[in-house]
């Protein structure tokens, strides 16, 4: 049997009769730049996020970069973030002119540890950038207290977490609801994936939304008039049409992922060498990734590949140990929980279209390996 890490062709086959006409409509209209699907998608994603504004842009990376640029960071200004994430989280802080300050993670959820954030605040701190890693929200309520105390902005990296939510004081709060601004990625492999690069910012700050709309269009609201220097980071209309057609399926897809996660969890229970993902109390995980901690990880990876089971390591080198950030001087061992996670994690196939027999095959293979 073959169980790929991801099977986008399966999803395509299931929904092509809905997506292709939407695509065709854009082609017939020839309105490729800032066509009407963009505002429609922005409104829907903002609504899903309990936010007032959606601002489509070219990628998830730009959906983080533009809000960080809107902070007008000066050299030496600090943004506290996690090193256990995709590169764009810290790359955008650097590219917006800031200095990433890495703090360690909660070993259960892999998300940023609020106590470590509180301890890292300095007079130069301007913002906190939590990542809702693998589709599970960080402890926003604790981060909000720290941000409020020190006058900091929170930029949520929700690239992996569209539709994730967290019950805070008995109220469901969405990814994208509580931070000052939030970046989503619609990279094709994401729970809501485009057919190319795409991203979106959401915010409930009216003035910030207006500014971010300009920043994605060369810094001007009116063509050929530029109040500041922005860039071209428009969301492609073709991608917006694809995403609009897919969006009605997002909730059922994420539910399927949760079902698969529960099934894996049962199937792998009792193995001391395997620690399935922990869902923190109050969180509704969307399982963008299903990530275990395991003993003898590298050998397991080779074994699974040999059995035709796709898998991946997200992420093998925490960002504080990347050569490009050597000048930030985080020695080996400085953020031990992130470094340990990088050695122990492995992600398994979790896409909605997986069949029971495939899940059983993966479970049996892992049980066999640790027998």
Ligand X SMILES: Cc1ncc(COP(=O)(O)O)c(C=O)c1O
* 333 torsion bin: left (phi>0), alpha (psi -120 to 50), beta (else): left
Which of positions 42-81 make contact with ligand X (CB under 6 A)?
Answer: 59-61
Q: Binding ligand X by CB under 6 A: which of 84, 86, 102, 325?
A: 86
239 binds ligand X (CB under 6 A): no
Interface segment toward ligand X; rule CB under 6 A; list 157-165, 229-237, 252-260, 317-325: 157-165
How many Cβ atoms are within 10 Å of 71's Cβ, its own excluded? 21
Helix (H) or strand (E) holding 290: strand 290-294
What's the Cα-to-Cα distance from 142 to each of 11, 25, 159, rounded to whole Å? 37, 46, 21
Interface segment toward ligand X; rule CB under 6 A; list 5-13, 21-29, 85-93, 212-220: 85-93
Q: Which is nearer to ligand X, 80 or 365 (CB)?
A: 80
Which of positions 96-115 make contact with ligand X (CB under 6 A)?
Answer: none
Distance between CA atoms of residues 260 and 268, nearest Å: 12
For residues 83 and 112, the answer to whether their CB atoms sit within 8 Å is no
Site string for ligand X, 4-43 (x = CB under 6 A): ----------------------------------------
Q: Phi/psi at 181 (nearest 5 deg)?
A: -150, 155
131 binds ligand X (CB under 6 A): yes
Q: How far is the CB of 198 from ligand X (least distance, A)?
A: 7
For residues 67 and 155, the answer to whether their CB atoms sit within 8 Å is yes
> CA torsion, points 336, 159, 98, 209, in degrees to nearest 10?
-150
Q: How far is the CB of 135 from ligand X (least distance, A)?
A: 10
93 binds ligand X (CB under 6 A): no
Q: Which is nearer to ligand X, 88 or 244 (CB)?
A: 88
Helix (H) or strand (E) holding 265: helix 250-267
Q: Which is nearer to ligand X, 61 or 358 (CB)?
A: 61
85 binds ligand X (CB under 6 A): yes
89 binds ligand X (CB under 6 A): yes
187 binds ligand X (CB under 6 A): yes
For residues 67 and 201, the answer to whether their CB atoms sit within 8 Å is yes
Distance between CA atoms of residues 29 and 139, nearest Å: 44
Q: How far is the CB of 280 from ligand X (least distance, A)?
A: 18
Beta bridge partners of 293: 275, 345
Q: Which is nearer to ligand X, 241 or 359 (CB)?
A: 241
Q: How far is the CB of 297 from ligand X (least distance, A)?
A: 20
Nearest CA to 125 out of 95, 147, 140, 103 is that of 147
What's the Cα-to-Cα distance from 27 to each of 12, 15, 16, 246, rounded to whole Å? 19, 19, 16, 18
Interface segment toward ligand X; rule CB under 6 A; list 82-90, 107-115, 212-220, 221-229: 82-90
Q: Binding ligand X by CB under 6 A: which of 199, 230, 277, 352?
A: 199
Q: Which is nearer to ligand X, 6 or 273 (CB)?
A: 6
Nearest CA to 23 out of 284, 339, 294, 245 is that of 245
Nearest CA to 254 out of 165, 341, 332 is that of 165
Q: Which residue's C-beta sits nearest to ligand X?
A: 60
Tell me, by CB under 6 A, how many residues bind ligand X.
15
Q: Which is nearer to ligand X, 180 or 187 (CB)?
A: 187
Query: Which stretches does DSSP call E strand in 23-170?
Result: 53-57, 78-81, 99-102, 125-129, 153-157, 165-168
185 binds ligand X (CB under 6 A): yes
88 binds ligand X (CB under 6 A): yes
Q: Binding ligand X by CB under 6 A: which of 81, 109, 125, 160?
A: 160
Q: Which residues bind ligand X (CB under 6 A)?
A: 59-61, 85-86, 88-89, 131, 157, 159-160, 185, 187, 197, 199
């Amino acid at each position: 049997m073959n169980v790929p890490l991801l099977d986008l062709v399966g999803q395509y086959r299931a929904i092509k009769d809905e997506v292709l006409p939407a695509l065709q409509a854009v082609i017939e209209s020839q309105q490729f730049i800032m066509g009407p699907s963009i505002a429609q998608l922005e409104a829907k994603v903002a609504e899903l996020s309990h936010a007032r504004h959606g601002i489509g842009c070219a990628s998830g990376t730009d959906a983080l970069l533009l809000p960080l640029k809107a902070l007008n960071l000066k050299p030496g200004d600090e943004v506290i973030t996690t090193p256990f994430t995709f590169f764009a989280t810290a790359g955008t802080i650097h590219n917006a002119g800031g200095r990433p300050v890495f703090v360690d993670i909660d070993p259960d959820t892999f998300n940023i540890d609020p106590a470590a954030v509180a301890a890292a605040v300095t007079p130069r701190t301007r913002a906190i950038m939590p990542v809702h890693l693998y589709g599970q929200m960080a402890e926003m309520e604790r981060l909000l207290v720290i941000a409020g105390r020190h006058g900091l902005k929170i930029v949520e990296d929700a690239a992996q977490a569209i539709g994730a939510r967290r019950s805070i004081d008995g109220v469901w709060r969405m990814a994208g609801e509580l931070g000052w601004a939030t970046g989503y990625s619609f990279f094709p492999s994401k729970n809501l994936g485009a057919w190319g690069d795409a991203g979106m910012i959401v915010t409930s700050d009216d003035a910030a939304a207006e500014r971010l709309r300009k920043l994605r269009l060369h810094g001007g609201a009116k063509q050929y008039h530029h109040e500041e220097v922005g860039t071209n980071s428009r969301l492609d209309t073709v991608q917006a049409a694809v995403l609009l057609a897919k969006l009605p399926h997002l909730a059922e897809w994420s539910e399927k992922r949760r079902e698969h996660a529960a099934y894996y969890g049962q199937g792998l229970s009792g193995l001391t060498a395997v620690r399935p993902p922990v869902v923190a109390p109050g969180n509704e995980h969307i399982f963008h990734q299903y990530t275990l901690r395991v003993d003898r990880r590298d050998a397991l990876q080779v074994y699974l590949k040999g059995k035709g089971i796709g898998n991946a390591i997200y992420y093998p080198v925490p960002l504080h140990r990347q050569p490009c950030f050597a000048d930030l001087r985080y020695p080996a061992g400085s953020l031990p929980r992130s470094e340990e996670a990088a050695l122990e994690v492995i992600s398994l196939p979790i896409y909605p279209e997986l069949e029971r027999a495939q899940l059983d095959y993966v479970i049996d293979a892992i049980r066999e390996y640790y027998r």
